[in-house]
Amino acid sequence: MIHEDQQGKHIIGHKNYKEEEGKSITTLSMVKMEELLQKYAGTGQIARDNGERVDFKEIIGFYINKQKNKKYETTVGIIHYSKNGLHIVPARPSWMGR
């Protein structure tokens, strides 16, 4: 189940979104993100802080590179797990390397 308040930090127009924080942006509906979580949760690589790096095989939003002040479309996201639910943060595209 998606933690809507945490996910909202990555959705333009949501009450929790703050443009000045420069967070990566999801462009999918909550329903579509829930579908992707059901399909891909548990299939990725373990990431730090209760997360999992997953390639969702379709564009999920934009990765924001704060150092270069640029955004890039991405199919990769970090699923963050908590006792209150999950949320997806768009991550650096695979083609950019680490």
| pLDDT score of 60 | 98
Helix or strand (DSSP H, E) at 73? strand 70-74
User: What is the layout of strands, in order, in the sheet containing 51-55?
Assistant: 45-47, 51-55, 76-82, 85-90
pLDDT in tens, the chain (98 residues): 899 999 999 999 999 999 989 999 999 999 999 999 999 999 999 988 889 999 999 999 999 998 898 999 999 999 999 999 999 999 999 777 76
| pLDDT score of 94 | 79
| pLDDT score of 98 | 64
| pLDDT score of 50 | 85
**Sequence ranges of the domains in the chain:** 4-96
The pTM of this model reads 0.90
Q: Which DSSP letter does residue 24 get?
A: -
Amino acid at 37: L
| pLDDT score of 24 | 96
| pLDDT score of 95 | 75
